[in-house]
Amino acid sequence: MGWKRKDLLGMQDLDATEITDVLDTAASMKEIATREIKKVPTLRGKTVVNLFYESSTRTRTSFEIAGKWLSADVINFSASGSSAEKGESLLDTARNIEAMSPDVVVVRHRASGAPALLARHLRCGVINAGDGAHEHPTQALLDLMTIREKKGHLEGLNVTIVGDVAHSRVARSDIFGMRKMGITVTVAGPPTLIPAQCQELGVKVSHRLEEAIAHADVIMMLRLQHERMQGGFIPSIREYSRVWGLSLARLAPCRPDVLIMHPGPVNRGVELAPEVADSRYSVILEQVSNGVAVRMAVLYLLAGSKKA
Amino acid sequence: MSLIIRNGRVVDPSSGIDAQQDVWIADGRIHKVGKALKVPAGVEVIDAASKVVCPGFIDMHVHLREPGFEYKETIASGTRAAAAGGFTAVACMANTFPVNDNRAVTDYILARAKVEGVVRVYPIGAVTRNLEGKQLAEMAEQAEAGCVAFSDDGQCVMNAELYRRAMEYALPFGTPVISHAEDCHLAHDAPMHEGIVSTELGLSGQPGAAEDVMVARDIILAELTGAHLHIAHISTAGAVRLVRDARARGVRVTAEVTPHHLLLTDDAVRSYDPNVKMAPPLRTKRDVEACLEALVDGTIDCVATDHAPHALAEKEGEFAEAANGIVGLETAVPLLLDRLVRPGVLDLPTLVTRLSAAPARLLGLPGGTLAPGAGADVTILDLEQPWSVNPAAFQSRGRNTPFAGFTGTGAPWMTLVGGVKVTP
């Protein structure tokens, strides 16, 4: 198995077969985490550069572990304390990194489209680890992997995504990916946090939490950024939490086998009541574990299958 | 000094001419237009058989960037670009550095244009000092110095009271006030139009309402003051409707549209190419159709390019951070001929009006006509000339165009200003 594509920029670019390839590959990668010696030689001699312009612990660490378990040399380049702070442009930084001959650049950037820009200019592979409010494809893949593991299949499921959809790259990637896998997606939140013409993405839109989660197989709670009040999107965190926060009481009428997911980091007490985050419904930590497996799969498919 | 343009199809809507005729130019002015004119020996002959001879085109909305941003464009390079694109006159916006908000800057621009400009340059003065929207610029002196209109283009004057005063103050000069209609709160610096494309791309979007709200406000202020309001780069179906309704009521409101708002939609932003980023942003198909319809029926008076050159580094990075604007002087006429006239969306005489007589009338300029006695500003078109857009070959210092690689047929062939051939 191998991929013809050079880059992974978004779920919008992938078809269902490619998504299934990643999930199957990730499932086999997952076994490595259970070994005493967590290392396979698959990417020995390959170089992966983590180019992170936004702070991230989880995603960067996840890519780093994924690369290292596959025996790649993983270099972390974070924007703070680097030439980016001295005013070097994204393209110049990228050209400089390319001059060091990496095989894959994993990029996170606050600007939507930044990975696409790099992909156009770099010969090496580019993996989007989150760009602005656009896409975060490996998150969507790990979400799909977690759901498939727990439910045994994807097609026909109902997934409800709750919260700040407008500013969420996770929501977009989830929507694109889930729709391709035959999942019915509902997005729910106050109208100010639902992006324009959202229905045209093929999702249902709801402005009532109870209604939106009543028949859900999976509830994906999104993180609420504290600065959303400044933009006039919500009046207060307090009110948001009252209206849109998920509590055990609100879960009571839902399906008994409903899964609660969250891309992290969780604002406990804002979008998720602490007892929900720690409940039997929650698969938040499985998501994190699967994140490593999915990123191993993606690195393998992009870098491992290409002959040098 | 005398020359004759022989056997061209003369299209001069202001004189009601669309026929194969000769145009005789003497001493920088149109001397005579007619069939098979007899001229004395020694008069230079330009053979324009199979060409179209029009009054010189006027672009009432360009950014020449000088003074202050000569690394983007200069009066010399910008006017060369104009001539190459078939324009014999341009009106340049005030957002230079320093801002053209006083007579000294106006004088400077006109002096440079006299020395280095190859087409006529008409400065547009700022409405407010330093484009800050706080205090009126010295409009009376600027009008005296030669400003033909007033605008804070690039910025919207958000203070309605101040804008009302600007409209009133400008009344005696007979100059329009040109509105960059964009409610900055509704637009909130969003780099593209709000809709399904912005939703998919995860870029923040500004609704068409950001333009509509301000066009509505400005129309109401024009009605209050009796001023001539001109809407720059109109781009939404809503704004078009507002202008159409206001004109039906007799409000003195006019409007221009850019070629890119007639030819591209927000779909183009899917490339994240900063060369499709401009203010106002590219809109939807529905908006494009409304603008086309309004251009045909005359609700939109003219086409203007909003020629906005930038350096490469300002237009090659992240979309949200790239500068707004694209160059237009060298692509406008070929694009309009191929994409609108050739398929019959707009007939040639109407396009010629929208590019010559209309802007001349709006700004009170001489020109826009081939009537005897008028300055001999002439644009000659070759409707069969194939072209492809190659930014590297531009006269403009700006290469920032979304039309690179576009091909078509029909282009400017020759440009004369005051009877003097400036291109080719």
Report chain B residues touching chain A, CB-CB < 8 A.
194-196, 198-205, 207, 272, 313, 316-321
Q: Which residues of A99-133 are buried (b: 16+ CB within 10 A; e: fewer)?
A: eeebbbbbbbbebbbbbbbbbeebebbbbbbbbbb
pLDDT-above-70 percentage for chain B: 100
**Chain B residues lying within 8 Å of A91, measured CB to CB:** 316-317
Is there a contact between A277 and A255 (Cβ–Cβ < 8 Å)? no
- Beta carbons of A12 and B204 less than 8 Å apart: no
Dist. CA B88–CA B415, nearest whole Å: 7
- Out of A12, A196, A201, name the one closest to residue B198 (CB): A196
Is there a contact between A278 and A248 (Cβ–Cβ < 8 Å)? no
Dist. CA A177–CA A16, nearest whole Å: 8
Given a cut of 60, whether residue B21 has pLDDT beyond it is: yes
Q: Smallest CA–CA separation between B387 and chain A, in Å?
A: 27
The CA-atom distances, in angstroms, between B271 and each of A113, B347, B389 are 8, 32, 18
Q: What are phi and psi of A101, to 5 degrees?
A: 55, 50
CB atoms within 10 A of CB A308: 6
- Beta carbons of A112 and B317 less than 8 Å apart: no
Average pLDDT value for chain B = 97
Is there a contact between A291 and A58 (Cβ–Cβ < 8 Å)? yes
- Beta carbons of A112 and B201 less than 8 Å apart: yes
The catalytic residue among B101, B306, B377, B382 is: B306
- Beta carbons of B318 and A117 less than 8 Å apart: yes
In total, chain B counts a number of residues equal to 424
Secondary structure of residue B209 in the 3-state scheme: helix
Chain Cα centroid distance, residue A228: 21
- Beta carbons of B202 and A132 less than 8 Å apart: yes
- Beta carbons of B199 and A197 less than 8 Å apart: yes
Dist. CA B53–CA B73, nearest whole Å: 29
Which two tokens mark B288? Answer: 């494009």
Which two tokens mark B229? Answer: 């309001």
Which H or E run contains A119?
Answer: helix A114-121
Dist. CA A41–CA B180, nearest whole Å: 61
Dist. CA B167–CA B218, nearest whole Å: 10
- Out of B195, B318, B321, name the one closest to residue A196 (CB): B195
The full DSSP string for A13-54 is: G--HHHHHHHHHHHHHHGGGGGSSS---STTTT-EEEEEESS
Give me the pLDDT at residue A307, please: 47
The DSSP code for A106 is E
Is there a contact between A179 and A160 (Cβ–Cβ < 8 Å)? no
* Beta-strand runs (E) in A173-243: 184-188, 204-206, 218-221
Q: How many CB pairs under 8 A join A and B?
A: 62
Cα nearest neighbour of A231 on chain B = B188
Dist. CA B123–CA B102, nearest whole Å: 11
Which class for B83: exposed (0-12), middle (13-18), buried (19 or more C-beta within 10 A)?
buried
Pairs from B104-107 (Cβ < 8 Å, separation ≥ 24): B105/B67, B106/B142, B106/B145, B106/B146, B106/B147, B107/B145
Dist. CA B348–CA B346, nearest whole Å: 6
- Out of A111, A133, A135, name the one closest to residue B319 (CB): A111
Secondary structure of residue B280 in the 3-state scheme: coil
- Beta carbons of A133 and B204 less than 8 Å apart: yes
Secondary structure of residue B71 in the 3-state scheme: coil
Tens of pLDDT along A239-278?
Answer: 999 999 999 999 999 999 999 999 999 999 999 999 999 9
Cα nearest neighbour of A194 on chain B = B199
Task: Please state at what angle helix A16-29 crosses helix A284-299, rounded to 10 degrees.
Answer: 100
Dist. CA B180–CA B153, nearest whole Å: 5
How confident is the model over B348-356, as a mean pLDDT?
98
Which H or E run contains B383?
Answer: strand B378-388
**Chain B residues lying within 8 Å of A131, measured CB to CB:** 202
Dist. CA A260–CA B283, nearest whole Å: 39
Tens of pLDDT along B77-119?
Answer: 999 999 999 999 999 999 999 999 999 999 999 999 999 999 9
Beta strand A104-109 with A47-52: parallel, antiparallel or unpaired?
Answer: parallel
**Chain B residues lying within 8 Å of A121, measured CB to CB:** none
Dist. CA B190–CA B31, nearest whole Å: 52
Instruction: Return the C-alpha torsion angle B81, B234, B163, B228, nearest 10.
Output: 80
Give me the pLDDT at residue B75, please: 98
- Beta carbons of B196 and A197 less than 8 Å apart: yes
Which class for A88: exposed (0-12), middle (13-18), buried (19 or more C-beta within 10 A)?
middle
Q: What is the ipTM of this complex?
A: 0.92
Residue type for position B115 = V
Tens of pLDDT along B262-286?
Answer: 999 999 999 999 999 999 999 999 9
Q: Smallest CA–CA separation between B209 and chain A, in Å?
A: 13
**How many Å is the Cα radius of gyration of chain A?**
19
Dist. CA B401–CA B327, nearest whole Å: 6
Dist. CA A64–CA A41, nearest whole Å: 15
Beta strand B253-257 with B302-303: parallel, antiparallel or unpaired?
Answer: parallel
Secondary structure of residue B49 in the 3-state scheme: coil
Show Cβ contacts of residue B63 under 8 Å, excluding neighbours closer than 6 positions. B73, B78, B92, B93, B95, B306, B307, B308, B309, B325
Tens of pLDDT along B413-423?
Answer: 999 999 999 99
Is B306 part of the annotated catalytic residue set?
A: yes
Dist. CA A299–CA A295, nearest whole Å: 6
Is there a contact between A119 and A126 (Cβ–Cβ < 8 Å)? yes
Is there a contact between A241 and A282 (Cβ–Cβ < 8 Å)? no
Mutate to test the interface with B, among A51, A89, A91, A112 (most CBs of B within 10 A): A112
**Chain B residues lying within 8 Å of A114, measured CB to CB:** 318
Dist. CA B260–CA B392, nearest whole Å: 20
Sign of torsion over alpha carbons A279, A283, A289, A291 = negative
Residue located via tokens 């333009």:
B211
Q: Smallest CA–CA separation between A36 and chain B, in Å?
A: 42
- Out of B203, B204, B316, name the one closest to residue A91 (CB): B316
Is there a contact between A90 and A96 (Cβ–Cβ < 8 Å)? no
- Out of B207, B272, B321, name the one closest to residue A116 (CB): B272
Tens of pLDDT along B371-395?
Answer: 999 999 999 999 999 999 999 999 9
In total, chain A counts a number of residues equal to 308
Is there a contact between B232 and B243 (Cβ–Cβ < 8 Å)? no
- Beta carbons of B203 and A195 less than 8 Å apart: no
- Beta carbons of A112 and B202 less than 8 Å apart: yes
* Beta-strand runs (E) in B52-176: 52-55, 57-62, 87-92, 120-123, 150-151
Q: Smallest CA–CA separation between B314 and chain A, in Å?
A: 10
Sign of torsion over alpha carbons B130, A87, A49, A68 = negative
How confident is the model over B159-186, as a mean pLDDT?
98
Dist. CA B250–CA B244, nearest whole Å: 10
Residues of chain A whose pLDDT is less than 50? Answer: 307-308
